[in-house]
A and B are shown apart, each in its own frame.
Chain A
Amino acid sequence: MDSGGDERGEAAGGTEAREPALPDPSLAGLFLGFLTVGLLGFGGVLPIARRMIIEDKRWMTAAEFADLLGLCQFLPGGNVINLSVAVGFSFRGSAGAAAALLGLVTMPGAIVIALGILYTRFQDDPQVRHVFAGLAATAAGLLIATAVKLALPLRDKPVRIGIALLCFGAVAILRLPLVPTLIVLAPFSMLVIRLTRG
């Protein structure tokens, strides 16, 4: 998943950090900037987005970027998806958010459908099935590594490990639906962390 996203907004210099004395992108600029990010972002879009926004286009400072990313990580939705919306919105309002989001997903969407067409056409070929079995097993390995990386910061926090295991058991083993699971577990998690200071 999105690695390198642990920077939090604490260093962002408080509330006045939101006015960059930097270039002010147009709608087309936002669309094209995120179009490039979508095309180049193989297996981790966040580092590419970061480089585009801070270094190439200089739309934001590193601190402003970290601040916005911290917000995006705690909202629902993919981190980079939310980031595109947040960056677009802060420069050009709703239209900017739409331009950035469309830029981000247009090319990957077209590519993924093209791959899907190829897959549908060749999926009955036994050799192609083996290639897909290999891809699927690789994807599983990548996900396991992501889970481990996410879990590492919790290693000296038994209360949080317990909550993570509870959530894992509910969804992976009992296969409970996500809505009731989240409605129960999210407040429970905050309450327990608050009470135990774990």
Chain B
Amino acid sequence: MLGSIAAIFGQLSLLAFGGGNTILPEMQRQVVEVHRWMSASDFTSLFALAQAAPGPNLMIVTLLGWRLAGLPGALVATFCQFTPSALVTGLAVAAWQRFHTSGWRRLIAAGLVPITVGLVAASATVIARSADKSWFFAALTALVAGVTLTTRTHPLCLLAFGALYGWFGGLFAM
């Protein structure tokens, strides 16, 4: 188990071009579909939980590791998720001055942007597909997306609102 966790997150570490949310679909595919360690709705709940905690959005990795194999799992997953990309970053900083202004750096950056957009949109789809089983929650997703795009409301306020929405929705048994 720990070996598989190390392999999955070590690989994801080097694939996370454009930030943590781009690897969410692959993480979910590995954990839910390939290894069948948990259900899609469990994965979505853990993702939501990680969003409610402070810190970088990749902290879902620590939570998944803990859920799968306790504290050793959490440590292995966290270490393997962050170390490979940290090594790449260290090397790149050391070499930064040399390729700072070169044209191919710009081309690589331009080429990766559409990929990032596609992957984050895929993340949103994967999470929404599992979170929005009823119109009641689909409406919440739409409302949150709309509010975030049109105002500067803090994500934490929206998460608190979402928790209350679920609580009261549950009370009235939808």
Residues of A that sit less than 8 Å from B by CB: 1-2, 9, 14-15, 18, 38-45, 68, 71-82, 85-86, 89-90, 94, 97, 101, 104-105, 107-109, 111-113, 115-116, 119-120, 123, 126-127, 129-151, 153-154, 160-161, 163-168, 170-172, 175, 177-179, 182, 185-187, 189-191, 193-194
Contact = CB atoms under 8 A, between A and B. Distances in A.
Interface of B: 11-21, 23, 25-26, 29, 33, 41, 44-60, 62-63, 66-67, 71, 74, 78, 82, 84-86, 88-90, 92-94, 96-97, 100-101, 105, 107-128, 130-132, 137-138, 140-149, 154-156, 158-159, 161-167, 169-171
Nearest to B148: A145
Contact of A75 (B48, B89, B100, B155): B89
A170 B22 CA distance: 13
Q: Say whether chain B's binding surface is mostly helix, strand, loop, or mixed.
A: helix
Nearest to B74: A113
Contacts of A137: 128, 131-132, 137-138, 140-141, 144, 162, 165-166
Nearest to A167: B118
Given A130-B170, A151-B117, A164-B117, A141 B86 contact: no
Given A101-B86, A136-B47, A140-B124, A78 B159 contact: no
Given A85-B86, A141-B148, A168-B121, A41 B127 contact: no
25 contacts: A71-B93, A74-B17, A76-B85, A77-B82, A81-B56, A85-B90, A104-B55, A107-B54, A108-B59, A111-B54, A112-B53, A112-B60, A116-B67, A133-B166, A134-B162, A134-B166, A137-B162, A140-B141, A144-B124, A145-B148, A151-B117, A161-B114, A168-B122, A177-B26, A186-B112
5 closest A-B pairs by beta carbon, nearest first, are A134-B166, A108-B55, A141-B144, A167-B118, A130-B170
B169 A134 contact: yes
Contact of B164 (A80, A94, A134): A134
Contact of A131 (B19, B20, B166): B166
